[in-house]
Structure 1
Amino acid sequence: MHFSIDRKYFYEKLSVVSRAISVFSPLPALSGICIDVKSDQIILTGSDSNVSIRSTIVRGELNQLDIDSTGSIVIESKYLLEIIRKMDCTMVELELVDYSLVRISSDNGQFNLNGIQSNEYPNIDFSQPTNSFELKSKDLKDIVSQTSFACSDKDTRPVLNGVNFKASNNTLYCSGTDSYRLARKVLPLQINHDSI
């Protein structure tokens, strides 16, 4: 993996992706940004296992992207962002030197960071769902207000911290519980069969 790119453009894209990354991640790889360099584009992915953000960089005049070789690596987001932000240059170059050693260089500086091999990063599905339905904002507000009070506010059982939405047979079932009390809202759906 070896590429060079405009520093400001790269920093903006990294900042967007890093919004999904949590400091307290269950997997060490999730504290980093997965950089996947293809022959014609770079795919940046950030996730905290609940929220995931993917950004794609293609060659263009704004980014001056030049890809020499392909590959992928996961780099700790806070270090990567800090280095790219503080570099005083217009172009930055990233190179995978060893299996997990990344060299970040410019005209006036060079940094080496240990990364994590990308095969340790979880496979995140960004495909669009095949079935969908529309819901009025008032109905959604009613569902949340009528079920969320029963949800748990303790982190001992995270599965009980939210409202469960299940659509079946043109009906939306919404349930919230803390294992002592249960709230359920049932709402008929008008499914647009063109979108299914």
Structure 2
Amino acid sequence: MENVAQQQPGVRVWPGLPGDRLLELMTGAQQLVLHAALYSNFAHGPVNKLIRRRLASGELTSLTLIKLEAKPQWRDEFARVLRPGMAAADMDLLLRQSRDWCCELKCLAPAAVNLVSSQALPLQPILLLGDTVLAGQYAHSQETAAHGPWLELDSTALGLAPGTLGQWFAQGVPVTGEGWPRAIGRYVEECRQAAHDIWMLPSLTGECQCR
């Protein structure tokens, strides 16, 4: 297949993380997979309220949170990528807030929330929102990922059957495929490997103190 740029329904590029669109996509999805190095921006805003409400009502049936536990070899450099110029103590606070938020959601709905600790080096922030992929970029820049370009891919408009992203995340991405299905599969595989394969850490006893 010739590798040519395409302009077609199902592909959108946003200048920065589109907050309103993110909420819209989350509202319409029964399954979410969140693969980000930090969730502190989500923990105290409308994303937090929306997820809690939908978990409590049962509308959100499956939420996978991939929580970063950085390796010492790249922790400091990656912290500078996430928050350029931030003091180490402030960065530790954000990471703690992120972990606490993940645990709070796990305690709120233990059957629906799959909390995974991973030491895989994050390559992109990727959100699987039902049948839609929303993906950003990490970069050595004074601008954080939230202010960079974000790619939105509607998998059903691009040739995949409804529910395929969740199936691939759970069971594996097929090695065959061309065009958009193959391109979309890379994002799912990044999430899957971080959550399911050799990078996944065993659950830590007492990691989440649910009351």
Question: Which band: TM-score by shorter chain?
Answer: under 0.3
Q: What is the TM-score when the length of structure 2 is the normalising length? A: 0.26
Higher strand share: 1
Give the greater-gyration-radius structure (CA).
1
Specify which structure has the bigger relative contact order, considering alpha-carbon pairs within 8 angstroms and separated by 6 or more residues.
Answer: 2
Q: What is the TM-score when the length of structure 1 is the normalising length? A: 0.27
